[in-house]
Structure 1
Amino acid sequence: MVIFDNDGVLVDSEPISNKMLAAYLTEVGHPTSYEESLRDYMGGAMHRVHDLVLERTGQRLPDDFDEVFHERVFAAFKRDLEPMAGAMDVLEKLTAEGVPFCLASSGSHERIRVGHRKTGLDKWFDDGRIFSSQDVGRGKPAPDLFLHAAESMGVAPDKCVVVEDSPLGVQAALAAGMDVCGFTAMTPAERLRDATRLFSELRALPDLLA
């Protein structure tokens, strides 16, 4: 079974969300560049943002930080979000070949659904094949989310291949005892060096899995 990450793998959301996260952190008094947001938060759940800011500054983010951030991001997704190049082709080919797949994302269920409706990916993912960090106690880099997805789908961890574009996601997949294909379209290969294998174009994935 193939377990896809969502942001940066199926939907081209990382540039949008990280630019907005960097701007909003800066706005509330924690200057952050786009590059720093990618480095520190890409692939992680929102609690990671809160944890790192508290650890580094001793200050807590505003109580409504998540709510305001998600309102801004969802509005941007509805305007600008696109599927990753090749995503539709890959999902169609896996379906035709009878390869089971699901999605395991650090994003909330609402974030996933907003993006999928805008991009047309909702055609491929019903509720039974979408898993979010909301469903488990700990998000990536803990293995909980991937293990939860595998168990829910009735597949042993060692029969799963994860497709990830973040170091946190690669760590989580390996900790779950799964092979992981590191997607380097946006993330430097060096940062994903622990992945089982690396690839840079989504359309190459089916051949890589074979």
Structure 2
Amino acid sequence: MEDNLRLPEMNSGSYPASICKDGELKLVIFDCDGVLVDGEQLSTAQMAAEARKYGWDLSDEEAHKIFTGGELAKIGQQIAQKTGKKLPEDWDMMMQQRIVTMMKTDAETVDGAENMLNSVIDLGLPIRVGSNSSGAEMEAKFASTGLDEVLEDHRIHSGRDLEMPKPRPDIYLHAAKQEGVPPTNCIVLEDSDAGVEAARRAGMACVLLRPLDKPAPEWPGLLRIDHLSQFPEILSEVLTQQRQNHEELLPA
């Protein structure tokens, strides 16, 4: 691991327990868009086109900054407020279906996603997905990219379907409950500020996938990487520190 990614000496109280040497990491939870599947740009471009249709002169790039990680219902509200136009009552459902259809053919994996997932599994850690995307959307994305060969259906959880969208912590707490582990034994891989906030509220550690020169939330429980290949290295080091600490505590 590069020096700027090496874990500091972590103690409970200062950092979430799951990444401390005296803690125990038992579950890894992944966001979907921007972490496993590179579909956010496609989705926000669809929303930009809708915004322009109703009179909001919004570029695809601006829409990506504004809408990334957001709920479709709230995005519809933003467009309505900005344009003064009334959107159809089922606008979010219409957009959801449009995105699902698009993802069946156009979704691509984030660089290194499949290798990263297999490396995490090889570490002996169970994995789950917690995303604001609908279950239908994730099914389309994972089938299109082949990640359905790695991710089991019962380990994929939708904040939209459960009406628990981020930054609420519910979707991550739900994933931990389904695994039967406390939130303090979990770590989340995210790319959005809303997802980081959800992890923080859930009491989980979080790794943010984002270029290191880009701004990020300030929180001691947040670690940073700029490529997925670095994530298993962080997990490996956490597990090594915890195993060594456990061995030191064993009676001679």
Distance in structure 1 (CA, Å) of the matches to 2:164 and 2:79: 18
Following the alignment from structure 1 to structure 2, what is the Cα–Cα distance between the partners of residues 209 and 105? 21
Match of 1:191 in 2: 216
SS at match of 2:189: strand
Secondary structure of 2:130 counterpart: strand
Higher Cα radius of gyration = 2
Q: Relative to 1, partners in 2 of residues 1:121 and 1:188: Cα closer, same or farther, differing over 3 Å? A: farther
Asked whether the equivalents of residues 36 and 110 of structure 2 are also in contact (C-alpha less than 8 Å), the reply is yes
CA distance in structure 2 between the aligned counterparts of 1:188 and 1:50, rounded to whole angstroms? 31
Amino acid at match of 1:72: R
Counterpart residue number, 2:6: none
CA distance in 1, matches of 2:233, 2:222: 15
Q: Which runs of 5+ in 2 are unaligned?
A: 1-26, 237-252
1:7 paired to 2:40 = no
Residues 24 and 69, structure 1, Cα contact 8 Å, conserved in 2: no
Aligned counterparts, 1:26-45, within 5 A: 26-45=52-71
Amino acid of the structure 1 residue aligned with 2:215: E
TM-score, normalization by structure 2: 0.76
- In the alignment of these two chains, the number of paired residues is 209
Cα 1:30–1:127 shift into 2, 3 Å: same
Conserved? CA contact 1:44–1:141, under 8 Å: no
- Which 10-residue stretch deviates more, 38-47 or 116-125? 38-47
SS at match of 1:103: strand
Q: Report the Cα offset of residue 87 of structure 1.
A: 0.7
Q: What is the TM-score when the length of structure 1 is the normalising length?
A: 0.89
Q: Deviations over 1:11-46 (max 9, x none)?
A: 010111111111112213333322332222211222
Deviations 1:134-173 (A, max 9, x none): 3433311111111111111111111111100011111111
Matching of residues 1-210 of structure 1 within 5 Å = 1-53=27-79, 56=82, 59-185=85-211, 189-194=214-219, 196-210=222-236
Deviates more, 1:150-159 or 1:41-50: 41-50
Q: Residue type of the partner of 1:191?
A: A
| Alignment partner, residue 5 of structure 2 | none
Which amino acid is 1:46 matched to? L
Amino acid at match of 2:214: A
**Is the 2:127–2:155 contact (alpha carbons within 8 Å) kept by the matching residues of 1?**
yes
Deviates more, 1:196-205 or 1:134-143: 134-143
Contact residue 45 and residue 133 of structure 1 kept, 8 A: no
Contact 2:76 2:91 in 1 (8 A): no
SS in 2 for 1:190: coil
TM-align CA RMSD: 2.1
3-state SS of 1:209 partner: helix
Residues 42-85 of structure 1, C-alpha deviation per residue, up to 9 Å, x if partnerless?
11222221343455566542223223323432333233211111
**Counterpart-to-counterpart distance in 2, 1:44 and 1:177:** 22
Amino acid at match of 2:201: A
- Identity among equivalent positions (%) equals 34
Q: Answer 1 or 2: which has greater helix percent.
A: 1
User: Does structure 2 conserve the Cα–Cα contact (< 8 Å) formed by 1:143 and 1:175?
Assistant: yes
Higher relative contact order (CA 8 A, sep 6+): 2
